[in-house]
Homo-oligomer: A and B are copies of this chain.
Amino acid sequence: MYPKSINNLIEAFKYFPGVGEKSAERMAFHVLGMEEIQTDFLASSIKNAKSKIKRCKICNHITEEDTCNICSDISRNKDYLCVVEDPKTVISIEKLGIFNGYYHVLNGLIETLDGVNPEDIRLDKLIKRIEDEKFKEIIIAVKPCLEGEMTALYINNVLSGMNVVVSRLASGIPMGADMEYIDPITFEASFDNRKKIS
């Protein structure tokens, strides 16, 4: 139905998650309406991002250099290491400006049911780094879900013999949330983790 170059574009947009035939068509027509300077920028940005971005050799965060801007920053606090599951979480935490330690980015979470084991997410590299760099506290900041819990417990177990505190971000009711809509597991966590009002 479409000219070949449009068909190709529609197929290419379907690479994105949640983009089906209709959305891909809409995006393709939107491209036709863009200025050429915009389509050139879009196309070259895709190629550049793919070719220039690699993983930091220390922490596995995304970077265009060998080491990322965070690992290269010697002014940060060497006592704290925050373990996250993906580079996006690093950015989210950095945007808050509340944490001044270093990060370690896993390649996902342990999912034994789906055959993702500790070696698949390179936990060995994390353990080695903790041994070498003598952090005082490892803050595990992965999603509160079954896979997140398993990953956190595994890390805690492996580090149990070492002189390092392992902590986990608090789970509970989000600030400002309507109590009526809190799911039962979060509710239970909020009871289990309740704090004395001092």
Chain A residues with CB under 8 Å of chain B are 1-6, 8-9, 11-13, 15-17, 25-32, 34, 36, 38-53, 62-64, 86-88, 91, 94-95
Contacts and interface: CB of A to CB of B under 8 A. Distances in A.
B45 A46 contact: no
A64 B29 contact: no
B39 A47 contact: yes
Contacts of A29: 86-88
A45 B5 contact: yes
Contacts of A3: 52-53, 62-64
A168 to B, nearest CB: 24
B49 A5 contact: yes
Contacts of A86: 29
Contact of A9 (B15, B45, B95): B45
Contacts of A15: 30, 34, 38, 42
Contacts of A25: 88, 91
A30 B16 contact: yes
A17 B32 contact: no
B43 A5 contact: no
Contacts of A44: 43
Given A34-B15, A38-B15, A28 B43 contact: no
Contacts of A4: 64
Instruction: Give me the 8 closest cross-chain CB pairs, A-B, nearest first.
Output: A43-B43, A39-B50, A12-B42, A9-B45, A8-B45, A12-B45, A9-B49, A5-B49
Contacts of A48: 5, 8-9
Given A12-B41, A32-B53, A1 B46 contact: no
A91 B1 contact: yes
5 contacts: A1-B94, A12-B42, A15-B30, A36-B50, A43-B44
Contacts of A91: 1-2, 25
Nearest to A36: B50
